[in-house]
C-alpha cells in the first residue's frame, strides 16, 4: 500500500520558524532531498503533528524554491497551535500537494493585480514569487496588501523592500486604522482598491484574505468593470482527506480540495454560496 495510500503522510524536518506577527509564524520544512514534492502556486498541503492531528495549509513559498517549503500559519486552532510550538530539527508529517493552483498559464501576457489581506498573503506570495521568477511572461504587477495594524503585516522585508524593487511593479500597503508608527495609507483594502481605480483592460485580479474582505473586494472590482472571468480568488474550507472524498469541502458538484481552492468569480457565481 505505502505510497499508494493518499492519506499516508511522509516526514519532513523543520528548518526554522520565524515570527511574522503576534499570531503568525512562518515554518520552513524540508525532506532529505529538499522539497518533498513538486507543486504549483495556490496548492496546499496537509501538515500533521500526532497526536494533535492534521490540518490543511497553503504553501507560501514559490515552486522555484527547491530546498524547502514555507508555510505562513496563523494560530487559530489545535494544529496551528502545535505547529507554532515546534522547534528547528523537529519532524512532522506532510502530504500533498492538493488542489488546482492558480491559472499561471492563462495569466501570461496580462497585467496582474494582487489584493491580499492579513494572512491571505500566504497563497498569494507563492504566486507572486512565481511571477517574479518568470518576470518576462507577465505584464505590470500591482500588489495591494493590508492588515489590521502595521504589526499584522506579514513578510515585511518582501513587501517593504524586495517586491517594490522588482521591475515594472508597484506595492501599495494599507492598515485599517491610524497608528503612531505608520505613515503609509490608512483604510480598508477594498476601499483602497476602489481609490486606486485599477482599469480592467488586459488585467487579471487575484485576491485572498478574510471572507469579509474578499466579499467587498469582489464588489469593488465589479464596480471597476472587471469581468468575473478575470477575477480570481482562493477558498478556505475545513478539509480532512484533501482528495475529494471525505465530504467536508463539498460545494455543489465540486470539492474545494480537489477542484479548487482557486476559482474565478465566474465559476463561483455558478456554485452554491456556502463557503
Partner 1 sequence: MKKLLLKEKWPELWALLAHEGPLYLPVEEGSVVLYQLWQEGVKVNLEAVNSTVSPKDIFLPREETYLRYSCQGEMLDLEDVESDEPIIAFALHPCDLKAIEMIDRVFLNQDPPDALYKKRRENTTVVALACRQPDPYCFCGVFGIDPTDAPGADVMAYLTEKGLLLEEQTAKGKILLEKAAPLLEVEADETNITVDVKTQDFGLQVEGLPEDLQERFNDPVWDDLFRSCLGCGICTYVCPTCYCFDVEDYGHEEGGERFRCWDSCMFGHFTQMAGGHNPRPSRKERVRQRFMHKLCYYPETYGEIACVGCGRCLRSCPVNLDIVQAIKALGGEKVG
Query: Which residues contact partner 1 (rule: CB under 8 A)?
Result: 1-2, 4-11, 13, 48, 50-55, 74, 76-80, 89-93, 211, 236-238, 240-241, 243-248, 250, 252-253, 272, 274-275
Q: How far apart are CA 62 and CA 123, in angstroms?
A: 9
Residue 81 Cβ vs partner 1, minimum distance, rounded to whole Å? 9
Could you identify the residue written with the cell 457565481? 269
DSSP letters along 39-58, please?
Answer: --TT-EEEEEETTTEEEEEE
Of residues 182 and 216, the one with the C-beta less far from partner 1: 216
Q: Which is nearer to partner 1, 26 or 62 (CB)?
A: 26
Cα(223)–Cα(214) distance, integer angstroms? 14
Q: Which is nearer to partner 1, 23 or 137 (CB)?
A: 23
CB of 85 to partner 1, least distance (A): 12
Dihedral through CA 61, CA 12, CA 103, CA 265, nearest 10? -90
In this structure, the strands spanning 185-186 and 169-175 are: parallel
**Residue whose C-alpha cell is 522547534:** 87
Distance set, CA 224 to CA 5, 169, 220 (Å): 47, 20, 6
Q: How far is the CB of 71 from partner 1 (least distance, A)?
A: 14
Q: Closest distance between partner 1 and the C-beta of residue 58, in Å? A: 14
CB of 256 to partner 1, least distance (A): 10
User: What grid cell was written down for 176?
Assistant: 485599517
Shorter beta-carbon distance to partner 1: residue 156 or 248 = 248
CB of 91 to partner 1, least distance (A): 4
Cα separations in angstroms, 87 against 29, 49, 246: 11, 12, 31
**C-beta of 52 vs 196, nearer to partner 1:** 52
187: left (phi over 0), alpha (psi -120 to 50) or beta: left
CB of 79 to partner 1, least distance (A): 7
Nearer to partner 1, 196 or 271 (CB): 271
Nearer to partner 1 among residue 11 and residue 202 (C-beta)? 11
Closest CA to 229 of 195, 203, 249: 203
Amino acid at each position: 500500500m505505502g505510497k499508494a495510500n493518499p492519506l499516508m503522510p511522509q516526514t519532513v524536518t523543520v528548518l526554522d520558524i520565524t515570527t511574522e506577527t503576534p499570531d503568525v509564524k512562518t515554518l520552513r520544512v524540508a525532506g532529505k532531498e529538499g522539497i518533498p514534492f513538486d507543486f504549483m502556486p495556490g496548492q496546499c498541503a496537509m501538515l500533521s503533528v500526532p497526536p494533535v492531528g492534521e490540518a490543511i495549509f497553503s504553501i507560501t513559498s514559490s515552486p522555484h524554491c527547491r530546498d524547502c517549503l514555507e508555510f505562513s500559519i496563523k494560530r487559530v486552532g489545535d494544529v496551528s497551535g502545535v505547529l507554532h510550538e515546534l522547534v528547528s530539527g523537529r519532524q512532522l508529517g506532510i502530504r500533498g500537494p492538493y488542489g488546482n493552483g492558480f491559472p499561471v498559464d492563462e495569466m501570461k501576457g496580462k497585467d496582474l493585480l494582487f489584493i491580499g489581506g492579513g494572512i491571505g498573503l500566504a497563497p498569494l506570495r507563492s504566486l507572486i514569487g512565481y511571477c517574479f521568477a518568470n518576470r518576462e511572461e507577465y505584464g505590470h504587477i500591482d500588489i495591494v496588501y493590508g492588515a489590521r495594524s502595521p504589526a499584522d503585516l506579514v513578510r515585511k522585508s518582501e513587501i517593504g523592500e524586495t517586491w517594490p524593487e522588482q521591475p515594472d511593479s508597484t506595492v501599495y500597503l494599507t492598515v485599517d486604522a491610524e497608528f503612531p508608527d505608520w505613515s503609509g495609507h490608512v483604510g480598508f483594502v477594498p476601499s483602497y482598491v476602489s481609490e486606486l481605480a485599477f482599469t480592467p483592460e488586459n488585467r487579471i485580479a487575484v485576491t485572498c484574505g478574510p471572507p469579509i474582505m474578499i466579499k467587498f473586494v469582489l464588489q469593488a472590482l465589479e464596480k471597476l468593470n472587471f469581468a468575473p472571468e478575470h477575477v480570481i480568488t482562493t477558498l478556505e474550507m475545513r478539509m480532512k482527506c484533501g482528495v475529494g472524498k471525505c465530504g467536508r469541502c463539498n460545494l455543489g458538484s465540486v470539492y474545494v480540495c480537489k477542484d479548487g481552492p482557486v476559482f474565478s468569480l465566474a465559476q463561483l457565481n455558478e456554485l452554491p454560496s456556502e463557503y
